[in-house]
C-alpha cells in the first residue's frame, strides 16, 4: 500500500506538487494520470525518497522509503529506463543492484528470463533499443520480488507489441496481490490498464476513484437524432427538460436523455425518426475537460 | 548556406548556452583579480612591471581552452552536431565557422584579460614603470589575444577528435599544464624536446625580452625568435584542426 | 561490506576506470624508463629521480575518481543507487573507499614499477631504498594517490558534472597552486598551506634527488613530511564530509 499525506514540493515560488493525499490499494493497477508537467514524476520521486518533500510525507506499507531495510525487496520502481550506465552490460547492472540488497545472484538470471533479455544479457546497455531498455528497467524493478511497484510512463515510445506486453505484465503483477502504481498522460491507455485512477493537474488532485466511474462521470452522454420533423420534436424534448442542440447538418444532439426515452417521446407524438444513435464523448475530450485548466503549457490550435 | 550565415549560426549557438558565459566570466575575473593581488604585493624588491602584470594569463588561457573544447563536445553529447550537419552537410564549413567564432571570442577575451591585468596593475601602483614602450612589452600584452585564439583552435580540434567532454578536457589540461613541464625532467633530451613543445613556443612569443622576477624571459635556446615561435605554435594548432576536420568529414556523425 | 562489493562491481563493469588505470601505470612507468635511460654522470639516476613522473599518474587517477561519481549523475544511476541504498552517506562512503583503495594500489604499482624499471635499466645506479626518506618517496605514493582520490570523489559529488569536476581538479592541482607562487611575498606563504604542496612535501621532503630547477620550489612548510600528509588527509576528508552532507540534503 502506498499513502501520500499532504505531499507538497516547491521549487522557489513554483509549486510542483500541491498538498496531494491519496492511498493506493494492493491487488489493483492504479493509474496516476495527468498532463505532462502535472507533477507525476516529482510525486513518484518523493514516494521513493529521491526528492525531499517541502512538506507532507509518503509512506509505503506505513514506512517512509528511507526506513525500509533492503528497499528493493519491498518496492520496485521504473522511473527512467535510461538510468543505466551505457557501457555496463545488462547483467552487470542487475548484479550490482541485487548485491546491494542481499539478493542471490540467480535472481538476476530469473528476472532476465521474465523480461526476455537473457540472450542479450552480456551486451552493453547503451546499445539497447528503448523497448529493451524498458524491459531491463522492469527487470530491475522485479529483482527483489517486491509487493509494491511504481512505473513512470512505462509505455512512452514503445511499439504496440511492447505496450501490450507491459500492460498485461502490470495486470498480472496486480493479480498476484501486489500494489501497482503506473503513471501516464494518456487516459486511453489507462482506461484499458488501470482499475483505479488518481488524476492530477498542476500538482493538485482532480479526481480519485475507479476508472469506470471516472469515465462515466467525465464523458458526456448524448444522443444524435435525425428526423424530417425536427421542428416538432425539438420543443417536445426541451419541455421534458433535456438539453437540445441544433447541429449544422440538420440533426439534433440531445443531452440528458437516453435513446429509449427519446424514441418513446417521438412515438407518442407521431414523429418519424431517421436516426437515433447514442454518442459517447471521447476519453481524450473528457480528460481535456477535466484537466484543461490545469495544463501547464497550452498550445493554441488553429489560430 | 554561405559562410556569413554559418558564422551567425555558430555565434547564436555559442551564446545561447550558459557554459561559455561562465568560462569567460571566470577567466576574466580570476585572471584580472589575481593580477590585482600580485600588483598590490609588489615592492622595491619585487617591482611591478609589464610582464609581472601578465603573470596569471595562463590561467585565463586554460579556462578558455575548456570553453572551446566544450563548444564541440557538448554538441556531440546532446546530439546537436547531427542537426548542424543536417543543416550544412559538407561538415567542414560549419566546423570552420564554429572554430572561427570560438577563436575570435577567445582572442577578445585574451585582449580583455591582458589589458585588464595591465590596467589594474597601473591603477594599483601608479608609480610603477608600466608604460608599453617597447615591441617586447607590446607583444607581451597585445599578443595574448593571438595566443588565446590559437589555443582555442587547438582545443576545438581536440574536441572534434575526441568528442567526449571528460576526455577532451583532461587531455588538454594534462598536456598543457603537466606534460610540457614534466618532459623537462628527462635528463639531457628533455630540454631539447621541450623547445619544440607548443606551450614553450607560445610562452616564448609572449615573454621573450620581458625579464622580470617571475620569468627569465629567456628562451635563448628556443629554435625560433618570438614571431617564429608564434608561427610554429599557430601551425601546430591549425595542423590539428585540419586533421580533425578530415576525421569529422569521414566518420559517421 | 556488501556496499563495498556493490561499488566494486559498478566500478569494474565500465570501461573508463580500466582506461585510466592503464594510462596511469603505463605512461608513468614508461616515462620513468625514458628518464632512467637518459641519466648519466651529470644527471645520475636515484630513487627520487625514478619517482619524478608520478604526478602524472596521480592526476589521471583523480580524473578516474571524479568520473566514478559524475558518470553516476550523468547517467542517472545515482538514483538507482539511492533507490537500492536509501542511506546515501553509506553508499557514497562505500564508493569513496573502493575508489581510494584502488587508487592506493595503483599508486604503489606506479611507484614500485617506476623504481623497478629504473633499476633494470641502470643496474649500477644507487637505487637501494635504504632510508626512511626513500621509503616515503616510493611507498608513500599509494597514500597520496588514495587521498587525492578522496578529494576527487568529494569534488565530483559536489559538482556532479564531469567537465566541471575534471576542470576544477586539474586547473587547481596543476596550475593554481603553482601560479599562486607568483604573488610576491605572500604567494609563498599561501603555498605553504595548499594541499597538493603538502602532498608533495610528504613525498619529497629531505630528498635532494631532483636536478636543480626541475622540482617544485622548496617551501618552508609548517609541518614535517608526516604532518604534511595528515594535513592533506584532513583537507581531503573534510571536503568529503561537506560533499556527503550536501548529497544527503539535496534532491537526487
**C163 close to A (CB below 8 A):** no
| Record: contact B187-C182, CB cut-off 8 A | no
pLDDT of B218 reads 54
Nearest to C225 by CA among C199, C193, C190: C199
C-beta of residue A225 within 8 angstroms of C-beta of residue A267:
no
| Record: contact C6-A87, CB cut-off 8 A | no
Hey, what's the cell of A215? 469515465
| Record: contact C179-B34, CB cut-off 8 A | yes
Could you tell me the residue range of the domain that residue C38 belongs to? 2-249
pLDDT of A292 reads 63
Tell me how far CA of residue A146 lies from CA of A24, A48, A112, B30, in angstroms: 15, 14, 16, 53
pLDDT of C185 reads 85
A205/A39 Cα distance (integer angstroms): 10
Q: Which residues of B are less than 8 Å from C110 in CB distance?
A: none
User: Which of C15, C46, C183 best tests the B interface by mutation, with the highest count of B CBs <10 A?
Assistant: C183
C-beta of residue C111 within 8 angstroms of C-beta of residue C29:
no
Which one of C39, C163, C171 has the shortest CB-CB distance to B166? C163
Chains in contact with A via at least 3 Cβ–Cβ pairs below 8 Å: C
Q: Which residues of B are less than 8 Å from C210 in CB distance?
A: 185
C74/C154 Cα distance (integer angstroms): 16
Of all residues in chain B, the percent with pLDDT exceeding 90 is: 68
User: Which of A64-68, B30-34, B86-90, B201-205 is predicted with the least confidence, judged by mean pLDDT?
Assistant: B86-90
Residue of C nearest to A99 (CA): C6
B243 in the Ramachandran plot: left (φ > 0), alpha (ψ -120 to 50) or beta? alpha
Mapping DSSP to helix (H, G, I), strand (E, B) and coil, where does residue B129 land?
strand
Hey, what's the cell of C248? 544527503
Predicted confidence pLDDT, tens digits, chain C (252 residues) = 789 999 999 999 988 899 999 999 999 999 999 999 999 888 899 999 999 999 999 999 999 999 999 999 999 999 999 999 998 999 999 999 999 999 999 999 999 999 999 999 999 888 999 899 999 999 999 999 999 999 999 999 999 999 999 999 999 999 999 899 889 888 889 999 999 999 999 999 887 655 444 445 567 888 999 999 999 999 999 999 999 999 999 998
**B185 close to C (CB below 8 A):** yes
Q: Is the pLDDT of residue B22 over 80?
A: yes
The string of pLDDT tens digits covering residues B132-172 is 989 999 999 999 999 999 999 999 999 999 999 999 999 99
Chains in contact with B via at least 3 Cβ–Cβ pairs below 8 Å: C
Q: Which residues of A are less than 8 Å from C13 in CB distance?
A: 85, 88-89, 92-93, 95-96
Strands A252-255 and A243-246, by their bridges, are: antiparallel
| Record: contact B59-C176, CB cut-off 8 A | yes
Predicted confidence pLDDT, tens digits, chain A (303 residues) = 999 999 999 998 899 999 999 999 999 999 999 888 889 999 999 999 999 999 999 999 999 998 998 899 999 999 988 888 988 999 999 999 999 999 999 999 999 999 999 999 999 998 999 889 999 999 999 999 999 999 999 988 788 888 998 999 999 999 999 999 999 988 888 889 999 999 998 899 988 999 888 877 776 678 888 888 888 888 888 888 888 888 777 788 888 888 888 889 888 888 888 888 887 766 677 677 676 655 555 555 543
Q: Which residues of C are less than 8 Å from A95 in CB distance?
A: 9, 13
pLDDT of A233 reads 87
User: Which of B80-84, B210-214, C63-67, C112-116 is predicted with the least confidence, judged by mean pLDDT?
Assistant: B210-214
Full set of structural domains in chain A with CATH: 2-216 (3.40.50.300), 220-280 (3.30.70.980)
C-beta of residue B27 within 8 angstroms of C-beta of residue B59:
yes
ipTM of the modeled complex:
0.88
Mapping DSSP to helix (H, G, I), strand (E, B) and coil, where does residue B91 land?
coil
Which residue has 604534511 as its cell numbers? C228
Q: How does residue B28 score in pLDDT terms, banded at 50, 70 and 90?
A: very high
C128/C113 Cα distance (integer angstroms): 14
| Record: contact C75-A102, CB cut-off 8 A | no
Which one of C5, C72, C79 has the shortest CB-CB distance to A99? C5
Structural domain total, chain C: 1
**B215 close to C (CB below 8 A):** no
**How close, in Å, is residue B248 to chain C by CA atoms?**
22
Structural domain total, chain B: 1
Mapping DSSP to helix (H, G, I), strand (E, B) and coil, where does residue B193 land?
helix
B163 in the Ramachandran plot: left (φ > 0), alpha (ψ -120 to 50) or beta? left
Q: Is the pLDDT of residue B44 over 50?
A: yes
Could you tell me the residue range of the domain that residue B178 belongs to? 3-250
Q: Which residues of C are less than 8 Å from A137 in CB distance?
A: none
The string of pLDDT tens digits covering residues B234-252 is 999 999 999 999 999 888 8
pLDDT of B206 reads 93
A139/A154 Cα distance (integer angstroms): 13
A283 in the Ramachandran plot: left (φ > 0), alpha (ψ -120 to 50) or beta? alpha
Amino acid at each position: 500500500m502506498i499513502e501520500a499525506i499532504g505531499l507538497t514540493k516547491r521549487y522557489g515560488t513554483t509549486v510542483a506538487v500541491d498538498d496531494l493525499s491519496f492511498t493506493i490499494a494492493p491487488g489493483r493497477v492504479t493509474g496516476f494520470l495527468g498532463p505532462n508537467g502535472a507533477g507525476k514524476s516529482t510525486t513518484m520521486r518523493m514516494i521513493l525518497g529521491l526528492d525531499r518533500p517541502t512538506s507532507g510525507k509518503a509512506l509505503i506499507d506505513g514506512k517512509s522509503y528511507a526506513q525500509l531495510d533492503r528497499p528493493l525487496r519491498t518496492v520496485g520502481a521504473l522511473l527512467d529506463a535510461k538510468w543505466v550506465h551505457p557501457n555496463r552490460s545488462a547483467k552487470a547492472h542487475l548484479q550490482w543492484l541485487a548485491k546491494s540488497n542481499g539478493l542471490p545472484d540467480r535472481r538476476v538470471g530469473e528476472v532476465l528470463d521474465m523480461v526476455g533479455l537473457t540472450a542479450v544479457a552480456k551486451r552493453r546497455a547503451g546499445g539497447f533499443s528503448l523497448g529493451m531498455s524498458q524491459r531491463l528497467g522492469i527487470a530491475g524493478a522485479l529483482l527483489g520480488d517486491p509487493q509494491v511497484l511504481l512505473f513512470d510512463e512505462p509505455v512512452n515510445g514503445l511499439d504496440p507489441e511492447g505496450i501490450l506486453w507491459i500492460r498485461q505484465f502490470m495486470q498480472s503483477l496486480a493479480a498476484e496481490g501486489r500494489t501497482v502504481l503506473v503513471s501516464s498522460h494518456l487516459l486511453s491507455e489507462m482506461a484499458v490498464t488501470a482499475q483505479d485512477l488518481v488524476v492530477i493537474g498542476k500538482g493538485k488532485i482532480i479526481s480519485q476513484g475507479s476508472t469506470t466511474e471516472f469515465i462515466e462521470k467525465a464523458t458526456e452522454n448524448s444522443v444524435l437524432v435525425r428526423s424530417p420533423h425536427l421542428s416538432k420534436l425539438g420543443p417536445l424534448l426541451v419541455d421534458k427538460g433535456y438539453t437540445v442542440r441544433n447541429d449544422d447538418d440538420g440533426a439534433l444532439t440531445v443531452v440528458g436523455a437516453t435513446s429509449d426515452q427519446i424514441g418513446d417521446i417521438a412515438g407518442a407524438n407521431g414523429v418519424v425518426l431517421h436516426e437515433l444513435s447514442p454518442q459517447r464523448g471521447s476519453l481524450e475530450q473528457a480528460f481535456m475537460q477535466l484537466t484543461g485548466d490545469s495544463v501547464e503549457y497550452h498550445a493554441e490550435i488553429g489560430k | 548556406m554561405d559562410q556569413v550565415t554559418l558564422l551567425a549560426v555558430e555565434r547564436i549557438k555559442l551564446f545561447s548556452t550558459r557554459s561559455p558565459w561562465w568560462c569567460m566570466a571566470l577567466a576574466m575575473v580570476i585572471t584580472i583579480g589575481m593580477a590585482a593581488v600580485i600588483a598590490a604585493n609588489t615592492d622595491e624588491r619585487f617591482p611591478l612591471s609589464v610582464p609581472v602584470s601578465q603573470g596569471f594569463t595562463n590561467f585565463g588561457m586554460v579556462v578558455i581552452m575548456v570553453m572551446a573544447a566544450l563548444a564541440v563536445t557538448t554538441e556531440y553529447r546532446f546530439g546537436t552536431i547531427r542537426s548542424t550537419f543536417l543543416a550544412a552537410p559538407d561538415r567542414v564549413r560549419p566546423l570552420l565557422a564554429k572554430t572561427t567564432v570560438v577563436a575570435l571570442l577567445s582572442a577578445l577575451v585574451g585582449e580583455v584579460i591582458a589589458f585588464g591585468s595591465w590596467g589594474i596593475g597601473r591603477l594599483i601602483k601608479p608609480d610603477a614603470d608600466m608604460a608599453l614602450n617597447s615591441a617586447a612589452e607590446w607583444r607581451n600584452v597585445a599578443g595574448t589575444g593571438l595566443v588565446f585564439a590559437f589555443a582555442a583552435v587547438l582545443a576545438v580540434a581536440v574536441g572534434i577528435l575526441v568528442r567526449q567532454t571528460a576526455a577532451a578536457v583532461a587531455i588538454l589540461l594534462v598536456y598543457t599544464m603537466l606534460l610540457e613541464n614534466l618532459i623537462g625532467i628527462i635528463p639531457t633530451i628533455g630540454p631539447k624536446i621541450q623547445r619544440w613543445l607548443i606551450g614553450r613556443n607560445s610562452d616564448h612569443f609572449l615573454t621573450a625580452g620581458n625579464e622580470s622576477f617571475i620569468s627569465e624571459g629567456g628562451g635563448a635556446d628556443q629554435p625560433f625568435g618570438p614571431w617564429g615561435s608564434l608561427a610554429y605554435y599557430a601551425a601546430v594548432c591549425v595542423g590539428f584542426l585540419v586533421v580533425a576536420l578530415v576525421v569529422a568529414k569521414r566518420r559517421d556523425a | 561490506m556488501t556496499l563495498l562489493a556493490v561499488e566494486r562491481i559498478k566500478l569494474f563493469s565500465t570501461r573508463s576506470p580500466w582506461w585510466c588505470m592503464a594510462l596511469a601505470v603505463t605512461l608513468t612507468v614508461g616515462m620513468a624508463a625514458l628518464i632512467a635511460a637518459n641519466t648519466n654522470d651529470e644527471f645520475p639516476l636515484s630513487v627520487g629521480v625514478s619517482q619524478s613522473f608520478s604526478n602524472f599518474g596521480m592526476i589521471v587517477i583523480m580524473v578516474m575518481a571524479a568520473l566514478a561519481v559524475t558518470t553516476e549523475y550523468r547517467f542517472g544511476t545515482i538514483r538507482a543507487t539511492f533507490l537500492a541504498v536509501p542511506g546515501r552517506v553509506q553508499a557514497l562512503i562505500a564508493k569513496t573507499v573502493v575508489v581510494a583503495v584502488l587508487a592506493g594500489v595503483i599508486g604503489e604499482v606506479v611507484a614500485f614499477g617506476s623504481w623497478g624499471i629504473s633499476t633494470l635499466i641502470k643496474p649500477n645506479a644507487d637505487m637501494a631504498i635504504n632510508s626512511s626518506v626513500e621509503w616515503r618517496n616510493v611507498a608513500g605514493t599509494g597514500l597520496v594517490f588514495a587521498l587525492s582520490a578522496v578529494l576527487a570523489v568529494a569534488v565530483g559529488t559536489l559538482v556532479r558534472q564531469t567537465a566541471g569536476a575534471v576542470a576544477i581538479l586539474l586547473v587547481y592541482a596543476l596550475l593554481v597552486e603553482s601560479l599562486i607562487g607568483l604573488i610576491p611575498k605572500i604567494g609563498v606563504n599561501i603555498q605553504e598551506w595548499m594541499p597538493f604542496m603538502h602532498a608533495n612535501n610528504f613525498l619529497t621532503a629531505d630528498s635532494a634527488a631532483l636536478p636543480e630547477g626541475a622540482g617544485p620550489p622548496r617551501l618552508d612548510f609548517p609541518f614535517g613530511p608526516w604532518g604534511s600528509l595528515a594535513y592533506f588527509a584532513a583537507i581531503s576528508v573534510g571536503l568529503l564530509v561537506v560533499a556527503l552532507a550536501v548529497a544527503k540534503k539535496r534532491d537526487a
